Amino acid sequence: MRFGAAGVLATVVAVTAALLAPGGAGAAPRPRGTEPVYDFAGAIRETVWVDTGRDGDGDGRTDRVAADIVRPKETEAKGVKIPVIMDASPYYSCCGRGNESERKTYDANGRPVGFPLYYDNYFVPRGYAVVLVDLAGTNRAQGCADVGGVSDVQSAKAVVDWLNGRAAGYRAKTGGSAVPANWSTGNVGMIGKSYDGTIANGVAATGVGGLRTIVPIAAISSWYDYYRSDGATFGFDPVGLARTVEQRNSGQDCSAQNRKLTQGPPANGDYGPFWADRDYVAKAKNVRASVLLSHGVNDLNVKTIHFGQWWDALAKNGVERKIWLSQTGHVDPFDYRRADWVDLLHRWFDHYLMGLDNGVERGPMASVERRPDQWADQSAWPAAAASPTVLRGRPGTEPGLGSLTTGASSGTAAFTDDPSRGENDWAADPGTASGSRLLYSTGELANDLQVSGTGSITVTATPSTSSARLSAMLVDYGPATIRNFAGRGEGITTGTERTCWGANAPGDSACYKVTTADTANVDYTIISRGWADLANYRSLTKEEPLVPGRAYTMTFRLASTDHVVPRGHTLALIIGGTDGGVVSPPARTPELTVDLAKTTVTVPLAGTPPEFRGSGVPAGRGPLAHVDAVPQARLDRP
């Protein structure tokens, strides 16, 4: 990648620091990475109030957001410039960051003291500045939250602009003298989990100059897909999240903005202008930053379609990228693969922000957790050998049961929607017919079969009422030990001992509790899910009332994943109606008759599924061990 003169200077400073570190004399001219040679305890801690250029709270003045900064004191010397690691978040006062819910702290004069997470402790001694930004309307920032919209994104982008000399920053929340970022090279890397990583995606999608890389962790790529799914609704809306993050910012009147969040999104699952404003996938062509992405394949909060569609859009744009996929739910890699993650992050920032040629971009593109704490590297994601494979459900001797095959199918199968039942009800006892779902299986596999990528399903169904929901799942039937992603820690257990990652300073510790894998023994694993409203069969922008007795065809997505179905297991497709506790049910629950000849599932497979001859139904073994879905009440805050 290219660097301007300031970036070259930062690289020279970083390399010099590495060579002058203890043991550095005579070292190779291309060091592995920057070394902790700067004094963290004496670092400069300050707040700069950056003007966003927007008046989100309607008080007649443009809003300023607080950028809390920690940087080496050596940057006060003339000509010394360093890059920036930035985490823009709405959670610094309401909810906290990280596994231990750290919040920002300040001294009696309002000077920042405690910086959540380890980024400052680890990277500031290595010649970086760390900037933690309060998004508009949160913590000490002016304005109002708009849940992924223009104000949220602009409040973070403005800080990137300020670091590059294109926006104004001040010493005070109102008034105050102007402050230039004359210590910054302009090279910025944004990082963060959940909402924070989502904002990194959003800022990257603006194409802002100076943003060299982003590290989105369990991040949203389109807010429509957080609150809706192909016409189906998840039962909660953006205004609740806005009120949560604004709750500790006294004196702000955000009632007008909150009304927009209430009235903007359609009550149904239609996609419209409100969601388009918050769709970063549609703007991915603007991304110029490299991307280091991490997500849990069992994340039922920020569902996995988010990383899959974002990754595919970045690929079309030729963005340099790397991905980690864990078996966890909504968890930061610092809490399931700590040492390896910090090492990768260090090399990633050194390369993309300092310009060091350390080869990090030439390593494996993907790293996937196959079993708890057992990882496999891949040259590509989706896996290079994976290709879209069309499968069909073929009826067996029992109604609603049969084989999943690459061959043709015929006939129909029917089920009655039952909103009191959900995915684990449908998956249990796969050898027994059920009136609330259809189940088709490959039978026992002779060889491993890898599902890698984003699938889809096309269903042709005839409803008995004027509205209907559809759900579909891919299930791996067979015994396995997995991370307990539905447990309290979503796949991790937090201990009491601590490890330290960087330097300490009064009020700002680098030490965090050690975590271990929380595991569960199961008889089946749901590896991909999808939901839809059949009334959106023609378009996501406008639902249409269904005519009872008429057949409709709809294609909807299945969640992105990377999972190996082992030899001896079976891969099954389940089709149901309302997934109870996940999507909102229709006004009247229908019977749905599925045309099997016109219903297909497209699965990205590496390996050859059998042309099965037989029922294809896993043997009934009574109640099966499984992991319950995460309660919906836990899924309304990314």
pLDDT digits (tens, 9 = 90+) for 242-286: 999 997 776 778 999 999 999 999 999 999 999 999 999 999 999
- Interhelix angle for 255-263 vs 238-246, to 10°? 160
Encoded amino acid at 615, one letter: S
- Write the CB contacts of 26 (distance below 8 Å, at least 6 apart in sequence): none
The per-residue pLDDT for range 49-65, each reduced to its tens digit, is 999 999 998 989 999 99
Q: Could you confirm whether 184 is annotated as catalytic?
A: no
Confidence at residue 504, expressed as pLDDT on a 0 to 100 scale: 97
- Residue 407 CA to residue 391 CA, distance in Å, equals 7
Contact of 392 with 600, CB cutoff 8 Å = yes
pLDDT recorded at residue 13: 43
Please report, for residues 1, 430, 479, 524, the alpha-carbon distance to residue 619 in angstroms, rounded to integers and kept in the order given.
56, 7, 13, 12
User: Burial of 17 by CB count in 10 Å (0-12 exposed, 13-18 middle, 19+ buried)?
Assistant: buried
Q: What is the pLDDT of residue 632?
A: 53
Catalytic residue among 184, 194, 528, 615: 194
Q: Return the closest-CA partner of residue 458 out of 597, 615, 560.
A: 597
Q: Measure CA 177 to chain center.
A: 38
Residue 263's contacts (CB-CB under 8 Å, 6 or more residues apart) are none
Both structure tokens of 535: 């009334």
Residue 611: per-residue pLDDT: 62
Q: Which residues of the chain carry a pLDDT beneath 50? A: 1-30, 612-615, 619-622, 633
Amino acid at 28: A
Residue 250: the pLDDT is 63
Residue 513's alpha-carbon distances to 58, 129, 394, 400, in angstroms, are: 43, 25, 51, 49
The full length of the chain comes to 638
Nearest alpha carbon to residue 93 among 241, 246, 289 = 246
Q: CA-CA distances (angstroms) from residue 161 to 68, 71, 156, 563?
A: 15, 18, 9, 41
Q: Is 357 a catalytic residue?
A: no
Compute the CA torsion angle 579, 581, 584, 590 (nearest 10 deg). Answer: 40
Count of CA atoms in the C-beta half-sphere (13 A) of 370: 12
The H or E element that residue 179 is part of is none
Mutual angle of helices 195-204 and 150-163, in 10-degree steps: 70
Instruction: Write down the pLDDT at residue 31.
Output: 54
Dihedrals phi, psi of 476, to nearest 5 degrees: -95, 110
Residues whose CB falls within 8 Å of the CB of residue 416, separated by 6 or more in sequence, listed in order: 435, 436, 577, 589, 590, 591, 592
Alpha carbon distance 457, 618 (integer Å)? 21
Question: Is residue 275 a contact partner of residue 265, using CB atoms and an 8 Å limit?
Answer: yes
Q: Is 441 a catalytic residue?
A: no
Catalytic residue, from 299, 332, 417, 562: name it. Answer: 299
Q: Determine which one of 295, 306, 330, 563 is catalytic.
A: 330
d(CA 579, CA 559): 15
318: Cβ–Cβ under 8 A, 6 or more apart, which residues?
none
Residues facing residue 168 across a β-bridge: none
Q: Domains of the chain (ranges plus CATH)?
A: 5-378 (3.40.50.1820), 387-484+521-632 (2.60.120.260)
Chain-centroid distance of CA 496 in Å reads: 28
Which residue is it, tokens 């109604």?
399
Instruction: Decide: 352 and 212 in contact? Cβ < 8 Å.
Output: yes
Cis peptide bond upstream of 638, omega within 30: no
